[in-house]
A and B are shown apart, each in its own frame.
Chain A
Amino acid sequence: MDFPQFDILAVSSALLLVTTFGVVVRQGFLDWLSAYRYQAIALSAVTAIIAYVTGIWEIYIAAALTLAIKAIIIPKVLTFVTQKIKLEVKIEENPYVSLRLSVLISAVLVALSYFLVLEIPIKSDPVVAAYLPLSISLFLIGLFIMVIRRMALNQVVGLLIIENGLFLFATALTHGTSLIIEIGIFVDILVGVIISAILLVRISHTFDTLDIGKLESLKDS
């Protein structure tokens, strides 16, 4: 019997998936924010592994930027901007799909993306083979989370997971786009998050709720 070999690419992608599931199962705003912080740390570790395997030093900078912006700045900014929103609208109490079902569906999405990539007849290097299906599954999970959440504030996490998936996709497939583009993307996501958070604060002031189901109904006064 041949024993399984220690494969840093597979193990790191497994750890990133574990942290992603940590985000999926958290319902409160501050809970998923801390889980997202761990996911960002795992993503930065994965990026550093890509840099180590390919030997391109610029990717190390991208990893450091990931750690700084996604693990520290974005959570801090989000906490600061949304501290005026009432606590009870921050918790996802009644999502469209229940928590246990969403965990199982996320697992199915992971399986789906891995089998999809197996169907693509490309010859590729081990980095792409390990991280391409992972980035697709992050993308699908983010999309799914965005669809099933009822509170608009908690839909931001879907956007953030999708962004992580896209970042991983680009880094794994192209071995690092040019650094200036990376920095541009980071600033873009930061500004996007800030703008969406401010918009949500406005919505919560105007409508007194963040439940997107209730936003559709006309306000009578």
Chain B
Amino acid sequence: MALEPVFGIADWVIGIFQTLAIIVLAPLMTGVMRKVKASSQKRVGSSIFQPYYDLLKLMRKDEVISDQSSWIFRFTPWVVFAATATAALFIPAFVSFTPFSIAGDLLLVVGLFGLARFFTMLAGLDVASAFGGLGSSREMMMSALIEPALFITIFAISLTYGGTNVSTIVSSAVDATIASSAGIITPTLIFASISFFIVLMAETGRIPFDNPATHLELTMVHEAMVLEYSGRSLALLEWAQSIKMAILLTLLVNIFAPWGIVSAGQPQQLGSAILIAPLILAGKMLIVAILIAHIETRIAKWRLFRIPDLLAMAMSSSMIGVIFFYL
């Protein structure tokens, strides 16, 4: 797969634009998902711009920090936001490559998420409130199970597309769809997509794993860890959470449904396609968001000790994907 895009000024502009688009539009996507969820539950729901209003309000508010907390507590929101925003650099959104991908691959994205999660867990423990410790211990249990499933999934994907680099993966996927439009429907990718979807729900704390809207003490996982935060720190954490969701959704649709992404292999279409590609991406992400909202409406949060069952399904699904590749 000799895809060596020459990185001119235009490529860098596109790359930065993609990253900024993910970071800026992530709260909007969260708002859309909340709206879809509300309407599937026969509620009116808040405006789709509500997450922006929340962020602005939180930015202006004063912060309360426990005098028992250490520097980790103050440091964490910035680390989490920086790590997540850095991960957004490596994600090709509507052009099949991103110039920053020379610096890192999918494993680095997972590593950055891991760093963010590690600091969130430390901050949960740092203030020594009962809920923080509880949330941290649950998050540790879940992440220890999410990561093997995610790595086998990445393994299956990179076997199919020849590399762990996100640009390589998405470019190969786009080229495969150009070669034949059903070219990417292989057993390996079917199993990998099931596994990736379960991992996505777990990573972003959607309903079978964790309820993102809860403030009921006994069921929360992520919310328990960030319970002590207020003001600007909380705004950063919530924004980082939206960006993480946007990154994983973009990866999902770009790897498993790469129709309509601008490929570097067809420069003659670049001008027109670059205008349509963001719309196609938004449409695909909207479909997945509606799917997730309906799943969240239809099923209840699972008991904490049943969550390993779901992650075992993800793990075995990606294992079978790898087996199918080697046949």
Stretch at the interface among A53-61, A105-113, A169-177: A105-113
- Distance between Cα atoms of A100 and B317 in the complex (Å): 12
A100 with B180: CB separation less than 8 A: no
Contact partners of A107 in chain B: CB under 8 A: 315-317, 319-320
Least Cβ–Cβ distance between A56 and chain B, in angstroms: 25
Known: A25-B313, A103-B309. A11 touches B185 (CB 8 A): yes
Q: At the interface, yes or no: A218 with Cβ under 8 Å from chain B?
A: no
How big is chain A's contact interface, by range? 20 to 34
**Do A13 and B313 have beta carbons less than 8 Å apart?**
no
A185 close to B (CB within 8 Å): no
Are B320 and A111 closer than 8 Å at their CB atoms? Answer: yes
Cβ contacts under 8 Å, A99 to chain B: 309, 312
Interface of B is mostly: helix
Q: Is A3 close to B, CB under 8 A? A: yes
Within 8 A of A (CB), among B269-327: 308-309, 311-313, 315-317, 319-320, 323-324, 327
Contact with B along A9-32 (1 / 0, CB 8 A): 011011101100100010000000
Give the chain A neighbours of B183 by CB distance below 8 A: 3-6
Nearest chain A CB to B239 CB, angstrom units: 34
Interface on chain A toward B: helix, strand, loop, or mixed SS?
helix
Residues of B within 8 A of A4 (CB): 160, 176, 183-184, 186, 188
Chain B nearest Cβ from A121, distance in angstroms: 16
In the bound complex, CA of A43 to CA of B149 (Å): 28
Contact call B320/A110, Cβ cutoff below 8 A: yes
Q: Closest residue of chain A to B319, judged by CB?
A: A107
Is the CB of A7 closer than 8 A to any CB of chain B?
Answer: yes
Within 8 A of A (CB), among B187-203: 187-188, 190-191, 194
The answer to the question of B172 belonging to the interface, with a C-beta cut-off of 8 Å to chain A, is: yes
On B, residues with C-beta under 8 Å from A are 1, 160, 162, 172, 175-176, 179-180, 182-188, 190-191, 194, 308-309, 311-313, 315-317, 319-320, 323-324, 327
